[in-house]
Chain A
Amino acid sequence: MPTFELTPAMMREIIMDHYSSPRHKVTPEGEGYETLHSSSINCIDDIDVFLKFDGNGKVKDACWNGTACAISTASSDILCDLLIGHDEKEAKYIIDQYRKMIHEEPYDSSVLEEALAFMNTGRQAARIHCALIGWDAVEEILKGHHHE
């Protein structure tokens, strides 16, 4: 559980900020990106995620692009922020903790930073998959990813 009080106003501000000005919403031009498409039959969200690793197996760049609601936009964007600089194992841990939070199970809040703003998503059951759409895709990329 988070060690500090994140007020609804703060959560709202974090989500609105990443929704109205996402930092990582771009289709990358460069080489070396692994990519995966993610969409859902239950909603409009339809996005691609892109991951690039450096020589040490750490995420060098993460971005996403597509049609998405506020929740999927902000959650995918915050995910990109969280991933950069982490290796595969750390990235998997972060995703795992986030998934637990969304499903209202005990989780390690210390790695989630701004992603804690989504702790109430369970109140809107229809939007749970929006909060996960980017995260599911990154997890799939990591599954198929072999690094030395």
Chain B
Amino acid sequence: MYDVYKIRNDFPMLREPQTMQGHPLVFLDNASTTFKPDRVLDAMDVYNRKETANSHRGDYDLCNKADRAVAKARESVARFLNAGVNEIVFTAGATSALNLVAYGYCLKVLKPGDEILISLAEHASNVLPWFRIASLTGAKVKYIPLSEGNRITVEAVKTALTPHTKFVSVAYVGNVLGYIAPIKEIAALAHANGAVLCVDGAQSTPHLKTDVKDLDCDFLAFSGHKFCAPTGTGALYGKYDLLCAMDPFETGGGMNVKFYPDGTATYLLPPMKFEAGTLNVAGIIGLGEAVEYVSSIGLEEISAHEHMLKAYAVEKLLATGMVDIYNADSEGGIVTFNVHGVFSQDFATYLNAQGIACRSGQHCAKMLNDVLCVPATVRASFYLYTTKEEIDALVEAVKHGGNFLDAYF
């Protein structure tokens, strides 16, 4: 039995009631970031308070302990994704993982006239690195058209692939609408076309069981803070031979074997080759614990819980007769909507005045709003600890949305 109240007890942010604008905090912005359970905080605390030392930099026990903690976290992440342990590169998050692919891989292999294929629903972090690479290499960015229902379909990918397509990057789950992209099929199509597939897993890894072997994607980027780990953590999964073929993006300490005055240098093998400088040891320890925590609850169970919440929210919101929902049929725990006659930002401010945290705007996917034909939307996003009562609070606020200026008086 999935006991959401028991789960909430694991999180200090939920257990010790927080308030916002004098109301109990209702946090419905989990696509943006998530809370951390004791297990994550405690593990980081132990490192910071009792076991601080740099990793791979010393001959003493504490240092060795830090090394082992990092290795353990890498094993946890690898197991979580069904990847090899040497295929997990720690990064500062999805953005830095995608940039590592851009500068380490694409910059090296793409040639003028090559095509990079993305979709119009991508987050800025899965768009702008490719724009940069296109301008540096002479490659072109092309788009997979979205279907009528704003999905990425296999058919659309087929039509968008050309003999020049060398690289494809799409989100497994979109951060605005929460549709699941058919990654396994896209991988097969990309490979048959001689292209490499990168997956932006920022919104999928926290919510969906991810098996990189089964998907057969070449790269997958994700952020820890979207699944209960601290900000500034994340990883890039890359197939080992691709990682070997890649150039380092950052160079410096911790990633080299030897270097000489004449400028020659040799690097460590992946993943260390891509981890220049002192690691975010506390964060990596937290990331490893978060992976174990989320796994202990179960990704299937979390998905099912979110699915239930999504259906509940859509039904209740529609019943008010006061909203347009843009993604009622999407699989993810995200409801994107507008209240009739109320600008999204004004409604989000009204929600703030009721203690409800929701995001308004374009959610970093600025190309999608032209597809949806609205300047901006309100997004409510759920996670393993979200309750029906929290959705009820949102629905209640929607009913009074016309009074949005109340926030100021």
- Which residues of A108-141 are within 8 A (CB) of B? 120-121, 123-124, 126-127, 130
How far does the alpha carbon of A11 sit from the alpha carbon of B406 in the complex, in Å?
A: 11
Whether A69 contacts B407 in the complex (CB less than 8 A), given A44-B361, A44-B362, A44-B375, comes out as no
Across-interface contacts of A123 in B (CB, < 8 A): 21, 353, 407-408
Does residue A8 face the partner (Cβ distance < 8 Å to B)?
Answer: yes
What distance in Å separates the Cβ of A2 from its nearest Cβ neighbour in chain B? Answer: 15
Inter-chain contact A67/B407, CB cutoff 8 Å: no
Does residue A142 face the partner (Cβ distance < 8 Å to B)?
Answer: no
Does residue A70 face the partner (Cβ distance < 8 Å to B)?
Answer: yes
Residue of A nearest to B350 (CB): A124
A-B interface, 5 closest residue pairs, ranked by CB to CB distance from nearest: A8-B409, A69-B345, A44-B376, A70-B346, A120-B408
Across-interface contacts of B404 in A (CB, < 8 A): 70
Across-interface contacts of B408 in A (CB, < 8 A): 11-12, 15, 71, 120-121, 123-124
Across-interface contacts of B21 in A (CB, < 8 A): 123
What distance in Å separates the Cβ of A37 from its nearest Cβ neighbour in chain B? Answer: 16
Across-interface contacts of A67 in B (CB, < 8 A): 375-376
How far does the alpha carbon of A77 sit from the alpha carbon of B345 in the complex, in Å?
A: 18
Inter-chain contact A126/B409, CB cutoff 8 Å: no
- Contact count A vs B, C-beta below 8 Å: 50
- Which residues of B335-361 are within 8 A (CB) of A? 343-346, 349, 352-353, 360-361
Inter-chain contact A15/B360, CB cutoff 8 Å: no
- Which residues of A1-56 are within 8 A (CB) of B? 8, 11-12, 15-16, 43-45
Does residue B405 face the partner (Cβ distance < 8 Å to A)?
Answer: yes
Instruction: Identify 10 new A-B residue pairs, CB closer than 8 A, beyond the known A43-B361, A70-B343, A124-B353.
Output: A11-B408, A12-B405, A12-B409, A67-B376, A69-B345, A120-B409, A123-B407, A124-B352, A127-B349, A130-B345
Residue of A nearest to B347 (CB): A69
Most buried by B among A12, A43, A70, A71: A70
Across-interface contacts of A124 in B (CB, < 8 A): 349, 352-353, 407-408
Inter-chain contact A126/B346, CB cutoff 8 Å: no
Residue of B nearest to A121 (CB): B408
Residue of B nearest to A9 (CB): B409
Most buried by A among B21, B344, B409: B409
- Of A11, A71, A130, the residue contacting B409 (CB under 8 A) is A11
How far does the alpha carbon of A74 sit from the alpha carbon of B145 in the complex, in Å?
A: 38
Inter-chain contact B346/A71, CB cutoff 8 Å: yes
28 CB contacts below 8 A, A to B, read: A8-B409, A11-B408, A11-B409, A12-B405, A12-B409, A15-B405, A15-B408, A43-B345, A43-B361, A45-B345, A69-B345, A69-B346, A70-B404, A70-B405, A71-B346, A71-B408, A120-B409, A121-B408, A123-B21, A123-B353, A123-B408, A124-B352, A124-B353, A124-B408, A126-B349, A126-B352, A127-B349, A130-B345
Looking at chain A's contact residues, the main secondary structure is helix
How far does the alpha carbon of A110 sit from the alpha carbon of B160 in the complex, in Å?
A: 62
What distance in Å separates the Cβ of A25 from its nearest Cβ neighbour in chain B? Answer: 14
Residue of A nearest to B409 (CB): A8
What distance in Å separates the Cβ of A68 from its nearest Cβ neighbour in chain B? Answer: 8
Residue of A nearest to B353 (CB): A124
Residue of A nearest to B362 (CB): A44
A residues sitting closer than 8 Å to B (CB atoms) are 8, 11-12, 15-16, 43-45, 67-71, 120-121, 123-124, 126-127, 130
- Which residues of B370-409 are within 8 A (CB) of A? 375-376, 404-405, 407-409
Residue of B nearest to A20 (CB): B341
How far does the alpha carbon of A15 sit from the alpha carbon of B353 in the complex, in Å?
A: 18
Across-interface contacts of A70 in B (CB, < 8 A): 343, 346, 404-405
Residue of B nearest to A119 (CB): B408
What distance in Å separates the Cβ of A45 from its nearest Cβ neighbour in chain B? Answer: 8
Across-interface contacts of A68 in B (CB, < 8 A): 343
Residue of B nearest to A118 (CB): B408
- Of A16, A44, A126, the residue contacting B405 (CB under 8 A) is A16
Residue of B nearest to A67 (CB): B375
In the complex, per-residue mask of B16-31: 1 if CB is within 8 Å of any chain A CB, else 0: 0000010000000000
Across-interface contacts of A12 in B (CB, < 8 A): 405, 408-409
What distance in Å separates the Cβ of B87 from its nearest Cβ neighbour in chain A? Answer: 35
Whether A44 contacts B409 in the complex (CB less than 8 A), given A67-B375, A124-B352, comes out as no
Across-interface contacts of A15 in B (CB, < 8 A): 405, 408
Across-interface contacts of A127 in B (CB, < 8 A): 349
How far does the alpha carbon of A84 sit from the alpha carbon of B77 in the complex, in Å?
A: 62
How far does the alpha carbon of A124 sit from the alpha carbon of B408 in the complex, in Å?
A: 7
What distance in Å separates the Cβ of B175 from its nearest Cβ neighbour in chain A? Answer: 16
- Which residues of B139-168 are within 8 A (CB) of A? none
What distance in Å separates the Cβ of B400 from its nearest Cβ neighbour in chain A? Answer: 14
How far does the alpha carbon of A43 sit from the alpha carbon of B375 in the complex, in Å?
A: 12
How far does the alpha carbon of A98 sit from the alpha carbon of B375 in the complex, in Å?
A: 29
Across-interface contacts of B352 in A (CB, < 8 A): 124, 126
What distance in Å separates the Cβ of A62 from its nearest Cβ neighbour in chain B? Answer: 23
What distance in Å separates the Cβ of A69 from its nearest Cβ neighbour in chain B? Answer: 4
